[in-house]
Structure 1
Amino acid sequence: MKCRNILPIVFGLALSLFAQDDGQAPTFVSVPQIGNITAGSPIEFEIVITDASPIESVRLYYKTGETRGFTSVEMEKDVNYIAEIPGFEVIEGVLEYYFWAKDAYNNQAFYPEGGERNPVRIKVGRFESEIEPKRFSIQMLYPEPNVQTDDDKPTFVFLVHDPDHLLDKNTLRVALNTIDVSGKLIRDGEVMTYIPERQLSGGSQEVRILLEDQGGKPLFMKRYPVSIGKGSPVADRGERSVWQDKLKINTNVGLDSDYDIFYGKEQPENRPMDVHKASARVRLRYGKIQLNTSALLNAHVIDEKAHDLSLRRQPLNRLRVDFRSPLLDVTFGDASLEFTELTLKGTRVRGLSAWFKLGWWQTAYVQGTTRQLIKPIVETHPDSTHWQMMRNITGDTLFVNHDKGTPVREFMGLSTSMDFYRHFRLGVSAFKSYDDVSSLNLDYEPLEDHYLFLANSVLGLNSELHFNHDRTVLSAELAISATNDLRADDSLLIHEGGLDTTLLNNINDLLGYPLTDDIFLGSAQGMGLSIPFPDLDDFDPASYLIDDVVKRGTYRIAFRTPLDLKWLQFDLNSEYFRIPANFVTIGNPSLQTDIMGLRSGARVRLIKNQLSLTGRYENTFDNVAGNTKNQTTHTESIVGGIGLNFYGFPMVNYSIRFMNRLGEPSEGYENPEELILNDNMTITHTVSPSYQFTAFKTQFNVNASYMLMNYEDANSTDNYNTNYLTQSLTTALTAGFEFPLSITLGGGFSITDPEDVTQAGTRFIIHSSRIGYKWMNNRLNTYIGYSMVDGFRDKNGLFDPGESYTDSNEDGQYNEGEPFLDEIQLDNSKFTLKAGAGYKIMKNFTIDGNMDLIMVNDEVDTEKEYNEFRFRMKLKYWF
């Protein structure tokens, strides 16, 4: 008897475990990028997510120099998780990004750790040869050198490239004209800033950067000329030269053609056979005024099915007009404004957004849509056996075939703040978002039952004390959300909630959508108010504000500050928060809910950053409202770490993390003795060494990261054992030669060993390499490389559901002692070969070609095997 039921298996470290809430957030294993990163070219990110529990959502957050807030995109699950930043949005400058993932039990994680505060920063150049700086360099990004600016108090921004950590071993001096401002520099990773204490005088200025060794020998020196204020016209060049000096126009146009062909399986709907993208961007600057215009058009020429499907999906075409000035910024098109953490962050809105700046007062406004209309397809027939039966208004019977559409989701938000004396900011933020039921124009009301029409409004108050050039900040935020189903009834609001019909209609007119009984009853289903509904018959505003809005509401209080001494640098951060399960914000999809507690951390750096000590403490619990779960789980984490970075020795970082989770019955639970309360401990060790050295006139950079995690559950028994041990290792080696050759090698593994003898261990191996070479004085750059992810889960020596067996007793089920075929449970791999070339035809004209050959092999289920060939060609012209 043959019985097969092999479930799709996610690449991960904990595939062998039972689905459970172990309190462990998803773990990230980054797949190295092999292709080039240039302006106008799309950037594909691939990452492996591992978790003992099912993964619910993975998102990529990114931000460029032209956007005020982070934009988020949902990552798609192929073999690994993949997302792409369109080339249309990849511009010259600094690109920031981080990843976020959440499992089915609301355990969340960021990559890199703390990425929402300190994202990864990479430089994007116009051509590939421009994005490989020298071994040490400091580039001034703002004010732009040799460009006149009317900003008489600019924030100087520098991009630091320091692979050899020369700043830690030598002396950096930065002077503005003749004044040394080195002690006032603020460094955050690769970005360094300086804020003048007073306005600068008009005319020519000079920024001088000097790096000296201990003996005073110059190692690096750079001068940047800056022009402040209105310059004097040159008499012999006439008035036209003044306009030419002030007016700066940059234009680029591009054409991308992507071809993607699958062999061995049907072409996936989300991977069209061909995509052609035409893009154009115009950047105009006159003094302090900027006008940026960009457009992107997508088309499918060969793949007719993809063309038809694109009409049933959210549009990918983009049009954006961005106007910036000292007082007002206005954007028409797609924008991602950022209000606050609890209101709007990471949501793209298509429409109008504006940012008004007047001294201490700033106001942001956004109005548009977060989802575009996809019209439903409704067909009727007088007689059918497969369609849905309905009756029209005359009572006649009809049969309807309904292909669902997507209603327009309207969005309107406002944020305003006043920064008193540049040190105390008070603000309010609010938005409303709702599905427009009428946009679908459904002829038959019963068809609306196929949809969930939501409305969400959020109001937030925030305050902030900030000193020390915004390095010392004490902030607080309070927010309220209201979420309801637009098609629900409103009788309880009137009869039980105490709202009369006139007042309810006035509220509905103000919001633009109807309030329903979900506001009154829906808190347990993720609907309703995030605070208790007020008793309008006996309403005490002061008591309601303190006891319900604040104590039982949603809030965050955060503090961070540095302390810089001659021999010590100290950084402290702390946050106390309460976010109940029924707090809902469409504006921030990565906000973790149903959690309350304290997070604190400190870092001490000694001996010019050669020795660092870190510590973090976290104490949180879920079931904040007390009625969403049978038990409340308290989570306590303690992290300690040390970093060594002494000259001439490898840099080593070590950390250890203890996490303890204890559950207790929820208050009022009737049978607490029946509960199996959470009681588990996780200990995680992480070691990350790195070393740079030079040998045979070649610079080498070696780094590695090893993680060992031990999970022990006090509830484990011989029959149900969830204990496991996980270890992972990632390594990388880069070599830079005197001639234009670069080599990168990477590899790693992850192994999960369950303590349960009925479960086999799981192993994953990742390795990659890249070789790049530049020809013809860097006009032609080429590369070839590969990456491979291999997963294996062995036999366990026991019968598992889905395995073949001989039914000796002929009772239709497996009985102990009957022969069976013990099968390998996982044995698959994904191999990607990449090659590409970029040629600079002229100073402002480039052509790029990239090829990917992907082979997926599965020894357990050969139906999952396939090959994929991808080719991308890009033309770009700028002036």
Structure 2
Amino acid sequence: MKCRNILPIVFGLALSLFAQDDGQAPTFVSVPQIGNITAGSPIEFEIVITDASPIESVRLYYKTGETRGFTSVEMEKDVNYIAEIPGFEVIEGVLEYYFWAKDAYNNQAFYPEGGERNPVRIKVGRFESEIEPKRFSIQMLYPEPNVQTDDDKPTFVFLVHDPDHLLDKNTLRVALNTIDVSGKLIRDGEVMTYIPERQLSGGSQEVRILLEDQGGKPLFMKRYPVSIGKGSPVADRGERSVWQDKLKINTNVGLDSDYDIFYGKEQPENRPMDVHKASARVRLRYGKIQLNTSALLNAHVIDEKAHDLSLRRQPLNRLRVDFRSPLLDVTFGDASLEFTELTLKGTRVRGLSAWFKLGWWQTAYVQGTTRQLIKPIVETHPDSTHWQMMRNITGDTLFVNHDKGTPVREFMGLSTSMDFYRHFRLGVSAFKSYDDVSSLNLDYEPLEDHYLFLANSVLGLNSELHFNHDRTVLSAELAISATNDLRADDSLLIHEGGLDTTLLNNINDLLGYPLTDDIFLGSAQGMGLSIPFPDLDDFDPASYLIDDVVKRGTYRIAFRTPLDLKWLQFDLNSEYFRIPANFVTIGNPSLQTDIMGLRSGARVRLIKNQLSLTGRYENTFDNVAGNTKNQTTHTESIVGGIGLNFYGFPMVNYSIRFMNRLGEPSEGYENPEELILNDNMTITHTVSPSYQFTAFKTQFNVNASYMLMNYEDANSTDNYNTNYLTQSLTTALTAGFEFPLSITLGGGFSITDPEDVTQAGTRFIIHSSRIGYKWMNNRLNTYIGYSMVDGFRDKNGLFDPGESYTDSNEDGQYNEGEPFLDEIQLDNSKFTLKAGAGYKIMKNFTIDGNMDLIVVNDEVDTEKEYNEFRFRMKLKYWF
């Protein structure tokens, strides 16, 4: 007898071994980029995530030079996790991004580690300037060269392009006029800033940048003229010439056509056969005033099904008008403002957003929608056997077929702060967001039972002491959230909560939506207030503020500071926080809840950054409210690291992490002896070497990262062993030649080996390569490359559901001792071949073509095998 259930293939197939929370956050293995990264072209990110628990959510956060805050998108699971930044949002300059993942037990991780504070930064350039001839450049973004500015104390901002890490081996000198300011530069990734200590005199200034080798030989030199205040212009060219220099207009239009065809499997709904995107962007700048407008229109011509489905999904078309000035920034369209960590961060709002900048007082306002209306489809019939039966007001029976829609989710937020003496900032942030029930216009009230209409309001107070050019910061934030089901009753709020009906109606009018009994009852799943509901019959404001709002509320206290000495640089950061399980903010989807504790870290850099020592300490626990889980788990982590970066030798970074998790019964739990308390330890080693050298007139750059993690559970037994060992490795080699040829090789693996000999290990192998060449004096840019991800999990010697067996007892089920066919549990691969070419037809007109051929093989379940062909053509014209 043969029985087979198709099991979903997930990269943590070993997860079925572990039925309890191991406290381990998801592990990331990045799939290298193969295609070119240029302005106006979409960027696809692919990442492999493994975990001993089911993955619940994965998001990509990104930010460009035009946005104030990070935008987040949910990554989709294909074979790996994939997300794409639309070409419409990829602009010239610096793109920042990081990944976030959460498993079913609320264990969360960022990639790179600490990415929410230090994201990956990549340069997005135009087609013709993607690789500099000497592989190094520094561009001054502000103040703009040759443009007069009234700012007599500007923050100088430089964009650094240094793929070969020349700054690590050579000396950079930056001078303002004749004064060397190199020691006062602040570098953060590819962005470097300098803040003058005093006001600059009016007139012409000059910034001089020089890169020298160890012997003092100049490798790179650049001069940028700057005009400050009402002094003389850089050159006397007449009134009309100066006016023309102040007014700058840049326009670009583009047309993208994507074709995506699947073979061996039905075309997925989220991968249409064709997508055509027309985009336009106009930038106008006069002095310090900027006006940016952009539009994007999506259409499906061949795939009629995709066209019909697009009408039932959130719209992808974009229209944005962005006005910026020294006092006021206004955006109409999609925007991602960032208030604070506990209120608004990473949520896109379509509507109006404004930022008022009046010296020491700044205010941000946003109003719009985070979800657009999709109208429901309701059909009625007097007689049906498959539709839902209802009765109208007259009592007549009628049958309804209902295709659910999506209500509009309104959003309104305000954040204001005052910066006293430029050193003490005090602010308040708040937003409200709710589903508009009336937007669906449902004719039959029982149909509302198919929906969950939510409302969420958050109020936050924040303060900040900042000195040393904002490098020394002590900040604190306190927040309260309220979440409720809009269709619930409000009788308990009135009779038990003590709210007067008139007062409740006034509050509802102020909020724009009704408060319901969820506010009074609350729940661990996020409904209700994030603080205890006040006793209105015996209300003591001072006691309630201290004991409930603060002590039992949601807050963060953070401190960071550097200490620069002649022979030592010291960086310290620390954070203490409390975020209960019932704190909910729609404004920040990646905020971890049900956690309280301390995180601290320090880094010491010696011998001109050639030797660095790092240390981190974390002590946290969950079940913050004390009644959301049967046990409270304390997690203590200690991390130590060392970095070596001596000239002429490979750069090496090593860290070791000890994490110990101990559980204890929740207070008041009746039968603590029945609990299996968490008691496990994880030791993680990470080694990251890198080395660059020159051989045969070719520059090579080699880097790698190896991670070894050992998990041991004190509750493991011979019959139930959850211990395992995980190791992963990523490597990359790049070669830059004197002629316009570039080669990149990459590879890596991730292996999980259970200690239980009856269980098989899981293995993933990744390798990739890319070759690029520029022809015709860099007018034609070509590349070809591939990536391969292979997953495998062997037989385990045991009968598993879905495997074939001989039913000797003829009872319709497997019995021990009956013959069965032990099968490989995971054996799949994804191969991607990429090739592309870009041709510069004219100075301001380019055409690009990219081709992807994807082959997915699955030896366990051949029904999951398919081939995919993707072709993308892009035309871009700018002036």
- TM-score, scaled relative to structure 2: 0.98
- C-alpha distance in structure 1 between counterparts of 2:544 and 2:321, whole Å: 45
- C-alpha distance in structure 2 between counterparts of 1:208 and 1:158, whole Å: 12
- C-alpha distance in structure 2 between counterparts of 1:493 and 1:133, whole Å: 70
SS at match of 2:552: coil
Report the CA distance between 1:235 and its aligned residue.
11
Report the CA distance between 1:160 and its aligned residue.
2.4
How many correspondences in the alignment? 879
Report the CA distance between 1:190 and its aligned residue.
2.3
Report the CA distance between 1:211 and its aligned residue.
2.6
- C-alpha distance in structure 2 between counterparts of 1:19 and 1:38, whole Å: 45
Q: 1:15–1:762: 8 Å Cα contact kept in structure 2? A: no
Which segments of structure 1 move beyond 6 Å, counting only runs of 4 or more? 233-236
- C-alpha distance in structure 2 between counterparts of 1:827 and 1:539, whole Å: 64
Report the CA distance between 1:850 and its aligned residue.
0.2
Report the CA distance between 1:497 and its aligned residue.
0.4
Q: 1:16–1:760: 8 Å Cα contact kept in structure 2? A: no
- C-alpha distance in structure 1 between counterparts of 2:164 and 2:814, whole Å: 63
Report the CA distance between 1:145 and its aligned residue.
2.2
- C-alpha distance in structure 1 between counterparts of 2:17 and 2:840, whole Å: 52
Q: Structure 1 residues 131, 327: CA separation in 2 closer, same or farther (over 3 Å shift)? A: farther
Can you list the C-alpha shifts for 1:434-464, whole angstroms capped at 9, x where unaligned? 0000000000000000000000000000000
Q: Structure 1 residues 751, 757: CA separation in 2 closer, same or farther (over 3 Å shift)? A: same
Can you list the C-alpha shifts for 1:200-242, whole angstroms capped at 9, x where unaligned? 2222211011233444333332211122234657999654323
- C-alpha distance in structure 2 between counterparts of 1:103 and 1:148, whole Å: 53
Matches within 5 A, 1:11-30: 11-12=11-12, 14-15=14-15, 17-30=17-30
Q: Structure 1 residues 131, 585: CA separation in 2 closer, same or farther (over 3 Å shift)? A: farther
Can you list the C-alpha shifts for 1:21-78, whole angstroms capped at 9, x where unaligned? 1100011110001000110111110111111111111111000111000010111111
Q: Structure 1 residues 51, 236: CA separation in 2 closer, same or farther (over 3 Å shift)? A: closer
Q: Structure 1 residues 781, 166: CA separation in 2 closer, same or farther (over 3 Å shift)? A: closer
Q: 1:635–1:660: 8 Å Cα contact kept in structure 2? A: yes
Q: 2:226–2:234: 8 Å Cα contact kept in structure 1? A: no
- C-alpha distance in structure 2 between counterparts of 1:332 and 1:523, whole Å: 37
Report the CA distance between 1:155 and its aligned residue.
1.1
Q: Structure 1 residues 143, 390: CA separation in 2 closer, same or farther (over 3 Å shift)? A: same
Report the CA distance between 1:164 and its aligned residue.
4.7
Q: 1:13–1:726: 8 Å Cα contact kept in structure 2? A: no
- C-alpha distance in structure 1 between counterparts of 2:547 and 2:323, whole Å: 45
SS at match of 2:590: coil
Q: 1:858–1:864: 8 Å Cα contact kept in structure 2? A: yes
Q: 2:250–2:284: 8 Å Cα contact kept in structure 1? A: yes
Can you list the C-alpha shifts for 1:511-544, whole angstroms capped at 9, x where unaligned? 0000000000023331000000000000000000
Q: Structure 1 residues 425, 435: CA separation in 2 closer, same or farther (over 3 Å shift)? A: same
- C-alpha distance in structure 2 between counterparts of 1:812 and 1:26, whole Å: 39
Correspondence for 1:298: 298
Q: Structure 1 residues 757, 126: CA separation in 2 closer, same or farther (over 3 Å shift)? A: same
Q: 2:831–2:855: 8 Å Cα contact kept in structure 1? A: yes
Report the CA distance between 1:173 and its aligned residue.
1.9
SS at match of 2:13: coil
Moved more, 401-410 or 717-726: 717-726
Moved more, 342-351 or 19-28: 19-28
Moved more, 806-815 or 827-836: 806-815
Q: 2:204–2:232: 8 Å Cα contact kept in structure 1? A: no
- C-alpha distance in structure 2 between counterparts of 1:31 and 1:236, whole Å: 53
Moved more, 237-246 or 744-753: 237-246
- C-alpha distance in structure 1 between counterparts of 2:366 and 2:788, whole Å: 44
Report the CA distance between 1:132 and its aligned residue.
4.3
Moved more, 743-752 or 796-805: 796-805
Correspondence for 1:227: 227
Q: Structure 1 residues 238, 140: CA separation in 2 closer, same or farther (over 3 Å shift)? A: closer
Q: Structure 1 residues 120, 797: CA separation in 2 closer, same or farther (over 3 Å shift)? A: same
Q: 1:482–1:529: 8 Å Cα contact kept in structure 2? A: yes
Moved more, 850-859 or 173-182: 173-182
Q: 1:261–1:870: 8 Å Cα contact kept in structure 2? A: yes
Report the CA distance between 1:14 and its aligned residue.
4.3
Give unpaired runs (5+ residues) of structure 1. none
Q: Structure 1 residues 166, 236: CA separation in 2 closer, same or farther (over 3 Å shift)? A: closer
- C-alpha distance in structure 1 between counterparts of 2:237 and 2:738, whole Å: 45
Can you list the C-alpha shifts for 1:95-120, whole angstroms capped at 9, x where unaligned? 10001011111000000000000000
- C-alpha distance in structure 1 between counterparts of 2:11 and 2:805, whole Å: 28
Q: Structure 1 residues 682, 242: CA separation in 2 closer, same or farther (over 3 Å shift)? A: same
Can you list the C-alpha shifts for 1:276-334, whole angstroms capped at 9, x where unaligned? 00000000001110000000000000000000000000000000000001100000000
- C-alpha distance in structure 2 between counterparts of 1:504 and 1:649, whole Å: 70
Q: Structure 1 residues 791, 760: CA separation in 2 closer, same or farther (over 3 Å shift)? A: same
Report the CA distance between 1:809 and its aligned residue.
1.5
Report the CA distance between 1:150 and its aligned residue.
3.0
Moved more, 233-242 or 793-802: 233-242
SS at match of 1:394: coil
Q: Structure 1 residues 242, 129: CA separation in 2 closer, same or farther (over 3 Å shift)? A: closer
SS at match of 1:708: strand
Can you list the C-alpha shifts for 1:825-844, whole angstroms capped at 9, x where unaligned? 11100000000000011110
Q: 2:621–2:633: 8 Å Cα contact kept in structure 1? A: yes
Give the superposed CA RMSD.
1.4
Q: 2:460–2:478: 8 Å Cα contact kept in structure 1? A: yes
Q: Structure 1 residues 67, 148: CA separation in 2 closer, same or farther (over 3 Å shift)? A: same
Q: 1:38–1:128: 8 Å Cα contact kept in structure 2? A: no
SS at match of 1:23: coil
Q: Structure 1 residues 133, 368: CA separation in 2 closer, same or farther (over 3 Å shift)? A: farther
Can you list the C-alpha shifts for 1:152-192, whole angstroms capped at 9, x where unaligned? 22211112234454434443221111122122111122221
Moved more, 3-12 or 707-716: 3-12
Q: 1:579–1:593: 8 Å Cα contact kept in structure 2? A: yes
- C-alpha distance in structure 2 between counterparts of 1:183 and 1:68, whole Å: 29
SS at match of 1:293: strand
Moved more, 651-660 or 7-16: 7-16
SS at match of 1:196: coil
SS at match of 2:691: strand
Q: Structure 1 residues 786, 763: CA separation in 2 closer, same or farther (over 3 Å shift)? A: same
Correspondence for 2:819: 819
Report the CA distance between 1:130 and its aligned residue.
3.2
Q: 2:784–2:834: 8 Å Cα contact kept in structure 1? A: yes
Can you list the C-alpha shifts for 1:775-805, whole angstroms capped at 9, x where unaligned? 0111100000000000111111222221111
Q: 2:55–2:102: 8 Å Cα contact kept in structure 1? A: yes
Report the CA distance between 1:810 and its aligned residue.
1.4
SS at match of 2:449: helix
SS at match of 1:795: coil
- C-alpha distance in structure 2 between counterparts of 1:233 and 1:55, whole Å: 59
Correspondence for 1:513: 513
SS at match of 1:331: strand
- C-alpha distance in structure 2 between counterparts of 1:50 and 1:337, whole Å: 32
Report the CA distance between 1:715 and its aligned residue.
0.7
Confirm whether residue 599 of structure 1 aligns to residue 599 of structure 2: yes
Q: Structure 1 residues 232, 204: CA separation in 2 closer, same or farther (over 3 Å shift)? A: closer
Moved more, 10-19 or 857-866: 10-19
Report the CA distance between 1:144 and its aligned residue.
2.4
Q: Structure 1 residues 13, 472: CA separation in 2 closer, same or farther (over 3 Å shift)? A: farther
